[in-house]
Chains A and B, each alone.
Chain A
Amino acid sequence: MKNIPEIEIENLSITFKIYEKGLIQKNIKTISNLCLKAYKGEILAVVGSSGSGKSLLAHAIMGILPKNATVTGSIKYKGSELTEKRIHNLRGKEICIIPQSVSYLDPLMKVGSQVMIKNNKSCFEKMRNAFKRYDLCENAEKLYPFQYSGGMARRALISTVEQTEPSVIIADEPTPGLDKQMAYKTMKYFRDFADKGKAVIIITHDIDIAVQYADKVSVFYGGTTLETTKAENFIKGEKYLCHPYTKALYNALPQNGFKPVEGFQPSPYDVFEGCIYYDRCDIRCEKCKENIPIYNFPDGSGFVRCINGY
């Protein structure tokens, strides 16, 4: 059954309970009605502007959201619900995350020894091999995170997934701060990993590099997915992309003329009805103020959330 996704997310919403000005409690919905599927043998690139909820999605899968977060909707792994107890047993073993920044490293532990998940010979060798591949010398093993550059930290974080043999890797912006060559090397590693029949979710701002290696691209905006489409459509051209925001992202790429997207992403503090892209959309109409259904592509490769999209 190839068609059961490794990770399948349906109508995921994440709400934070926060206290404003003393004791006034407020719920802010940072992610709403998010849908995503990651298949075996595929790389899914998640793109979207800063603050669109990409890291939260990754943390929701791993079960490491803060206590004041409420999650609704469903997250499935290999076809069955990923309960709190289940992710507890799976994380770090079958599902691994590569976090976003150096702050995820223990500041008081030498990087080499914290990359090793256990203090034994096989973990040591795996660590050393990974470090070698990412040009981290033996001396780098003995340094503390504060002695690392941003790029080095990222490579060390990437090395952590090689400690175990996961079937799903979620990489939260693995490439910024790396030079071109290193970025390609990293993407190549994920490609090989996917080709071995595993699933990879890469969160990235680097649409350019991502579309060269990924199979599908999922476009995030204001805490939801606006479109999931084949990566090749980003290379083929604008008319293969459906959502106005996806098209805008496409046109903002350097080779397509750098056209900036006007306006701002709505903040999770604003309550929304209807299409979340309404304010910035060129082709909006009255109907866009109502609930926007998802339109699934006939070949099953993705979907778009726009009434004029398909």
Chain B
Amino acid sequence: MNVIKIIFKNSIRMITLLIAVAIASFILVTSSPIDPVQSYVREGVAVSAEQREEIANYWGLYNSPIERFENWGKNILNGDMGTSLIYRKPVSEVIGEKFQSSIILMSISWIISGILGFVLGVIMGVFESSKIDKFIRNICFIISSTPSFWIGMMFLIIFSVKLGWFPIGFSVPIGVSSDNITFSQKLYHAILPAITLSFSSFSNIALHTRAKITEIMKSNYILFAKARGESLFNIIKRHVLRNALIPAVTLQFASISEIFGGSILAEQVFSYPGLGQTAVDAGLRGDIPLLLGIALISSIFVFLGNIIANILYAVLDPKIREGAKYSE
């Protein structure tokens, strides 16, 4: 009942958000100084006035912005995101391809940062203000105030250049035809960027988890559990983890947006051809259809993360799951 309501409510929200994103990015992109015709024919190539006229007519550049938006919107609704000017391929195909490499990168780092952050947070919280807590906390502070591209470069220098454990860049081995690339090779190329990426969010998760755990440890129900002679291990297992789970899950899914944002930088540093790098390319080279497509897809992606967080929250929290008397 409740869960269905939440899904419904969030879907409505998502649709309105997407419309807003579409309009906003359309306005931004059409008012940018980049000449779409020039970027279509590539930089530096001379075009005669007639040719220019023809192309502009063909793309509908003389229509009013509202008409153009209508056209674009209609096509999007039919699943046609247009053609990428850089790749000369349908935008959906380009995004699909790039997304695949990005998703490997992002999911590895999402899992690493989630698990690492949670475990460290629990350790810090349970042993609040002990030496181990201070030690881990300082590390977290240092990491969260270090730019992730710098960490990425350090990793590259140490692990790829000096030690040679990992490849220097790209998502696949160079000079191997795409049919012969195995999943483990892709994984191998994704590890270093993924670790870099997870550095941008695990310390946040750890510090948030720590705050939640210290709050739990001070609660009356933990006091009572102690008074009943439950061992520390048992208290953590029976009460602490249970109560930390809901905020942790929410945090974890909310961190998707952070990971997504961070992936743009990480992909740049490692020349990893994923969605982030493609977005940068599309922006710099005026590939308007691709840029708009990526904007839409990434909003959907981030928003889905939030929806899942909300749904899990409802499923996990008995107050929402069973309590009809709590409406909001």
Within 8 Å by CB of A99, from B227, B238, B246, lies B227
Measured CA separation A103–B223 after assembly (Å): 10
- Inter-chain contact B218/A146, CB cutoff 8 Å: no
With A106-B239, A146-B319: A93-B220 Cβ-Cβ less than 8 Å: no
Is B219 a contact partner of A96 (Cβ separation < 8 A)? no
Contact indicator A103/B220 (Cβ below 8 Å): yes
In this assembly, does B25 line the interface, its C-beta being within 8 Å of a C-beta of chain A? no
Q: When the two chains form their complex, are residues A109 and B242 in contact, meaning their CB atoms are under 8 A apart?
A: yes
Contact A108–B243 (Cβ < 8 Å): yes
Contact partner, A107, options B218, B230, B238, B243, Cβ 8 Å: B243
In this complex, the member of A89, A90, A109 whose beta carbon has the largest number of chain B beta carbons within 10 angstroms is: A109
The answer to whether B218 and A99 touch across the interface, beta carbons within 8 angstroms, is: no
CA A279 to CA B171, docked complex, whole Å: 80
B242 and A106 contacting across the interface, CB-CB below 8 Å:
yes
Query: With A144-B322, A146-B318, A147-B322 known to touch, is A107 a contact of B221 (CB < 8 Å)?
Result: yes
From known contacts A105-B221, A106-B242, infer whether A96 and B323 are also in contact, taking CB-CB under 8 Å: no
CB proximity of A176 to chain B, nearest CB, Å: 17
Q: Are B220 and A92 in contact (CB under 8 A)?
A: no
**Residues from 42 to 101 in A contacting B, C-beta threshold 8 Å:** 59, 62-64, 66, 89-93, 96-97, 99, 101
Q: Which residues of chain A in 281-295 are interfacial with respect to chain B, using CB atoms and an 8 Å cutoff?
A: none
Complex interface: chain B residues within 8 A of A99 (CB) = 220, 223-224, 227
Q: How far is the CB of A21 from chain B (nearest CB, A)?
A: 21
B228 at the interface (CB under 8 A from A): yes
Q: Are B227 and A109 in contact (CB under 8 A)?
A: no
A92 touches B221 (CB 8 A): no
Check: A240 CB closer than 8 A to any chain B CB.
no
* Nearest CB on B from A150, distance (A): 15
Given contacts A103-B220, A106-B243, contact A91 B318 (CB under 8 A): no
Chain B interface, >50% SS class: helix
A18 at the interface (CB under 8 A from B): no
B220-248 vs A, CB cutoff 8 Å, 1 = contact: the mask equals: 11011111111000000011001100100
Is A160 interfacial (CB 8 A cutoff)? yes
Judge whether A104 and B322 touch: CB under 8 Å: no
In the complex, chain B residues 291-328 whose Cβ is within 8 Å of any chain A Cβ: 317-319, 322-323
A64 B221 Cβ-Cβ under 8 A: no
Quick one: which of A59, A99, A108 has the most chain B CB within 10 A? A108
> Is the CB–CB distance between B238 and A97 below 8 Å?
no
**Central interface residue in B246, B318, B323, by most chain A CB within 10 Å:** B318
The reply to whether B243 and A104 form a contact with Cβ atoms under 8 Å apart is no
Interface centre among B226, B228, B246, B323 (most CB of A within 10 A): B228
Q: Is A261 an interface residue (CB 8 A)?
A: no
With a CB–CB cut-off of 8 A, which chain A residues contact B218? 66
A160 contacts which chain B residues (CB < 8 A)? 228
The answer to whether residues A59 and B322 also contact, given A91-B229, A109-B242 and a CB cut-off of 8 A, is: no
A144–B318 CB distance below 8 A: yes
> A56: shortest Cβ distance to chain B, in Å?
12
- Bound Cα distance from A176 to B228, whole angstroms: 22
Residue A117, interface by CB 8 Å? yes
- Please, which residue of chain B has its CB at the minimum distance from the CB of A161? B228
Q: A91-B226, A96-B228 are in contact. Are A108 and B220 (CB under 8 A)?
A: no
Q: How far is the CB of A158 from chain B (nearest CB, A)?
A: 13
How distant is the Cα of A144 from the Cα of B318 in the complex, in angstroms? 8
CB closest residue in chain A, given B218: A66
Select A101's contact among B220, B226, B246, beta carbons within 8 Å.
B220
Q: Which single member of B228, B242, B317, B318 contacts A92 (CB below 8 Å)?
A: B228
Give the residues in chain A near B318, CB-CB below 8 Å.
108, 144, 146
Using an 8 Å CB-CB cutoff, how does the interface string of B59-103 with A read, 1 for contact, 0 for none? 000000000000000000000000000000000000000000000
A64 touching B227 in the complex, CB below 8 Å, given contacts A105-B221, A144-B318: yes
- Chain A residue at smallest Cβ distance from B316: A108
Bound CA span A106–B226, Å: 12
A129 CA / B227 CA spacing, docked (Å): 22
Q: Can you list 19 residue pairs at the A/B interface with Cβ under 8 Å? A: A62-B227, A64-B226, A64-B227, A89-B229, A90-B229, A91-B226, A91-B228, A92-B227, A96-B227, A99-B227, A103-B219, A105-B221, A105-B224, A106-B238, A106-B239, A108-B318, A109-B242, A117-B228, A144-B319
Give chain B's interface residues, CB within 8 Å of chain A. 218-221, 223-230, 238-239, 242-243, 246, 317-319, 322-323
| 9 additional contacts (CB under 8 A) given A105-B221, A106-B243, A144-B318 | A91-B226, A93-B229, A99-B224, A101-B220, A104-B220, A104-B221, A104-B223, A104-B224, A106-B225
The residues of A with any CB-CB pair to B shorter than 8 Å are: 59, 62-64, 66, 89-93, 96-97, 99, 101, 103-109, 114, 117, 144, 146-147, 160
Q: Which 5 A-B pairs have the closest CB atoms?
A: A92-B229, A92-B228, A104-B224, A103-B220, A106-B221
